Structure formats: structure tokens, C-alpha cells
Amino acid sequence: MNGASAILTSTLVLGGLYLLMAAGLTLIWSTLRVFNFGHGALLMFGAYLSWTLLDRAGLPLLPALIGGVLAMALIGVVYEFLLVSPFIRRPNGDMLVMVATLAATMLLQSAALLLWGPEIKQLPPLGSARIELGGSVVQGTQLVTIVLAPVLVGLLALALRRTGIGLTVRALEQNREHAQLLGISPRRVYLFVVTVAIGLAAVAGVLLGSMRFISPLMGDDPLLRAFVVLAFGGAGSLGGTIAGAYAIGLLEAVTTYYFGLSWSPVLVFLAMIVIMLARPEGLLRNQVRSA
């Protein structure tokens, strides 16, 4: 495998993973104006649930993975009911929601430790298909990630533009008070947004659990990377998030290849700090919107 093909493969795989995480964060931010600090823990819980359905319940691989993601979508309903609705309409509601989601992170990580123990676990590879990409062979979970991530986020973007619930989400994003005067129920929109975002995070958890390992803290690093993506693409812009995810994937792939794995996060976060100082609205946001 030559350097260019290795960087290309890593860019597409990492960009896909970060896209699934950051798209949900962007959707929640643009609608509720809060950051969901529990996103990484929800990713982790989705991976554990899929592993449980596969290893303990004995389901075949695909039904176990789908079951884990659907279970997390249902948990999203509870998550919205307990952590969003009771706080968002209060004074300083955005801050209250963020504190509640931060508390949920510690609760979910502790619950995972009690339920599944500290031993790391892993999901099997997702299929045996393989293709040649730029001189390198991509197979299994990597191939699924490369294809599935842009497809799911593309479907989300299409739903936001072409469906009734998507139009209400966009209306609430642009002007919450005006949308309520038109009869749009914020509660219905919040429920849709949180459920979809958690579902995307669960998909990312399944993919990560297959490529790496499952542990109670496995969601922390992807969450940090997703925040870097938002710094690049601009929080609240789905187009900017897509561009930012693959830009971060490329940056991390290049720095890992040339400087080593230990230097990659240092250089990536250094780039984030520089961008936040120079362009707080996001490096790619205006370019994507004007395209």
C-alpha cells in the first residue's frame, strides 16, 4: 500500500465516522442551540447493546446491529423526555440542558461499567466484501463505513429539504418564535432531532466497535473529534459538517502517516485552536453555504 492510497483510505473511513457523530451534534445545535455532551456515551451504549444482542441473545449479526441502533433511537425518546423537555423552556435552558447531558455521560458510563464490566469487547467485521481503492484493499467494516456514512447523512439532508418534519426543523432553526406563531410544535421537532442524532451516534458506535474495541470510555475521543469537525465546518451547518468531517479525516490521516499516531491528535487540536481564534464561525461554513 503506497502513501497516497493509505491516506485516501484513512480519510474516507475516519471522515465517515466523524460525519456520523458530528451530523447529530450539528442537528441538535442548530435546532436547540445546545451541545449534547452525552453524545459520546450514547455512541458507546449503542455498541454495547448491539454486542449484547449478538453475543448474549444469539441474534445474527445484521439483526443484532439493527436492533442495537433501533433500541438507541427509542432511548433517544427517553433522553429527550428527561433531559431536554424539562429544561429547554426555562430561563438559561440551554445551559441546563448541557449540564444535564454532561451528567448523563457519567451515568451512562457508570451503567456500562456495572452492566458489562471493564473488559473490552469487540463486534465482528461487517461483511467480507473487498474492493481496491487507489491501490489499497478496503474490506469489511471499513468499506461499510465509507459507503454508509455519506448515504445516511445524505438521506438526512434530503429529509430536511423534502419532508414535512424536515421543513418544520428548518423553520425552527431559522426563527423559533416565528415558527411557534405558525403553529409548529417545538416538542415534536426536538423529539425528532434528538432521536435521529442518537441513532446516527449508535451507527458510529457499531462501526467503531467492529473496527476497534468497545469500552465504557470509547465515546470520549470521537466526541472530541466531532467538536473539532464543528470548529472546521461551523456549528449548525450540515453542509459545513460534511466538509469538515472529511477535512479532519484528511488532516488526521496525513499527520498520522507522516508524524505518527501520537502526534496526530496534537496537530489536529492545534489546528482547531488556530481556527477558533481566526474564524469562530467555522473555516468552511461560508464557503459551503455560498457553493
User: 129's torsion region: left (phi>0), alpha (psi -120 to 50) or beta?
Assistant: beta
Q: DSSP 3-state assignment of 135? A: coil
pLDDT in tens, 184-201: 778 888 899 999 999 999
pLDDT in tens, 155-171: 999 999 999 888 888 88
Which of 88-92, 100-104, 174-178 is the least confident region?
174-178
* Cβ atoms within 10 Å of 253's Cβ, excluding its own: 21
Q: What sign results for the dihedral spanned by CA atoms 261, 147, 66, 72?
A: positive
Which of 23-37, 110-124, 137-151, 258-272 is the least confident region?
258-272
In one-letter notation, the amino acid at residue 90 is R
Statement: the pTM of the whole predicted model exceeds 0.95: no
Tell me the pLDDT band of 290, cut-offs 50, 70 and 90.
Answer: very low
Per-residue confidence (pLDDT) for residue 32, from 0 to 100: 85
> Closest Cα to residue 196, out of 143, 153, 258?
153
Q: DSSP 3-state assignment of 132? A: strand
The Cα–Cα gap between 64 and 60 comes to: 6
Alpha-helical (H) ranges within 60-185 are 61-79, 85-88, 93-116, 140-162, 164-174, 176-181
